[in-house]
Chain A
Amino acid sequence: MSASTNNLTEKTALELIKLQEKGEVKAEAITVAFLESIKAKDSKVKSFLHLDAEKAIATARTIDSKRAKGEKLGILAGVPIAVKDNICIKGTITTCGSKMLEHFVPPYDAHAIEKLLQADAVILGKTNLDEFAMGSSTENSAYQTTRNPWNLDCIPGGSSGGSAAAVAACESPISLGSDTGGSIRQPASLCGIVGLKPTYGRVSRYGLVAYASSLDQIGTFSHDVADTALLLNVIAGKDDRDSTCTSVEVPDYLANLEKPITPLTIGVANEYFAGGLDAEVEKSVREALKVLEGQGAVIKQISLPHSPYAIATYYLVATAEASSNLSRYDGVHYGHRSEAHKNLIDMYCKSRGEGFGAEVKRRIMLGTYALSSGYVDAYYLKALKVRRLIRNDFDAAFAECDVVIGPTTPTCAFKVGEKSSDPLAMYLSDIYTISCNLAGLPGISIPCGFNSKNLPIGLQLLGAPFSEEKLLRIARMYEKETTWHLKRAQVS
């Protein structure tokens, strides 16, 4: 093995593509290397719920033989990828981290999966999540708690904790997740990797199991910004099967990635540096802003006055939508059916009572209450009005700034069990990520340092709708001047 093919699992997707193009390594060897990494580490990290080892190797071999014959290959040829277990893959079990869907095998592929397969990616398997993507730590999974590869006593974040930990632990070079209130950016931040939530409507939700339909969006995890641009090139774009997926043109996100944005005005919101922000996190974020200032960026103090209301708004909007979306789990078409029932209604109630975990029940109850007769105006409608004010805050900010930058999370990764008995404390860990979903904006978290306990710190960049190209270029301006994205967690 030559020097360039050492430590295959620490490489980025673009590096793996170049190595194959130069003929230095085959797709099969890459896939085997990542499967071995999973075998060595996943009993500790617990990123994966299911592995498709045989299928992955067979796919890699097909790609190698296509390459040998000189056939045209997709833009992710031979790159392994892990997929959050709420994104449907035809014929592969999709549990959503729930006992309700323990045996569910989707009869179709999600749009994002079709795109991955057309791009010749190699799907390794499905990753752990909080049940139905409801949570911030993966502790709500009915199957296992994923661990943070930087410190196995800590949570990886959530709900896409398995997809984040898989990349951070070098079990997969890239992965897909979903983000409803921070479920990509928060775990990316806590695991020291890059996580992008695209604009609402940028990526089709067809085949993403619904949690809160006006907030859910499929997005990406990777070690660096270029891999994020590459993966977004694959999954973004119109799909008629999701009527909220828009026909806004998809640029080549990689083409101009190295070109800085000049002039660049960065909005810094006072509200994102308020009480509750850890001092070490604040220090790293302020230093990151200086790095961008050093490249000519102008910092503008702005205010997002309604951000203190974002969490309360989210927990009404998201739970109301969830209570409606999750009514499909009735024990009839698919999912768990209780054995001991007296009649049809009793069968619904018992199947749902047995199949759902505590947090899912809590959110269905809250959402049902917020929509119930006599309360809908005071709760749900009130939340939708505050949601408008939150969106207006951002529209005003983006009239005078290119990007809003701040911390992704108020603290670094917390210990397993630390917040699991206090739902409200857990909800508050998403304080900086949630507004982005309510407003439908794109947001990215990139690594910007470590605290004194060697836990990663994330920098969040928020942009105007459909400004992913600009957002990625600004993220790259910072990344180019720093080395955080080159660090890899050593799982022992």
Chain B
Amino acid sequence: MAITTDQIKWISHLARLELKPDELSHAAEQLTSILNYINLLQQVNTDNIEPLAHPLDVSNVFREDILKASISVEEALSNAPNRQADFYGVPAIFE
């Protein structure tokens, strides 16, 4: 099965990842080869097998809802590429 350049464009759109033209054609070729290898899994009979998403038998770990100090606003914003007052700055969403 071969992945087409159009499929790569769609996946890169879903992933919000801009690829240059040479990256697009290269990605099609490499993903095809990796997926052909991965198709090995189709040989395995997995009827009635429960999926294992996680190695530990834990679910819904709760803790007490106690108010406590966290990092400061200054620290939280210290890595912001664009800061506007006490907010993260982003390009305008509404025209």
Contact = CB atoms under 8 A, between A and B. Distances in A.
Nearest to B40: A312
Interface string A366-397: 10110010000001011111111101000000
A344 B31 contact: no
A253 interface: no
A105 B78 contact: yes
B91 A107 contact: no
B88 A108 contact: no
A334 B81 contact: yes
Contacts of A349: 12, 16-18
B91 A341 contact: yes
B17 A243 contact: no
A332 B90 contact: yes
B75 interface: yes
A384 B55 contact: no
B8 A387 contact: no
A273 interface: no
A164 B15 CA distance: 33
Contacts of A424: 33-34, 37
Nearest to A441: B55
Given A347-B90, A350-B18, A385-B50, A365 B58 contact: no
Tell me the interface secondary structure of chain A in the complex. Answer: helix
Tell me the interface secondary structure of chain B in the complex. Answer: loop
Given A107-B78, A309-B40, A423-B34, A364 B17 contact: yes
Contact of A368 (B14, B34, B78): B14
A240 B7 CA distance: 42
Interface residues of B, number: 52
Sort chain A's interface into a size bin: 35 or more
Contacts of B2: none
Given A347-B91, A352-B16, A366-B34, A309 B44 contact: yes
A361 interface: yes
Interface string B53-86: 1111010010100000001000110111110000
Given A345-B16, A348-B16, A352-B17, A200 B55 contact: yes
A427 B35 CA distance: 13
B11 A369 contact: yes
A286 interface: no
Nearest to A311: B37
A43 interface: no
Contacts of B54: 214, 244
B6 interface: no
Contact of A361 (B27, B33, B39): B27
A333 to B, nearest CB: 6
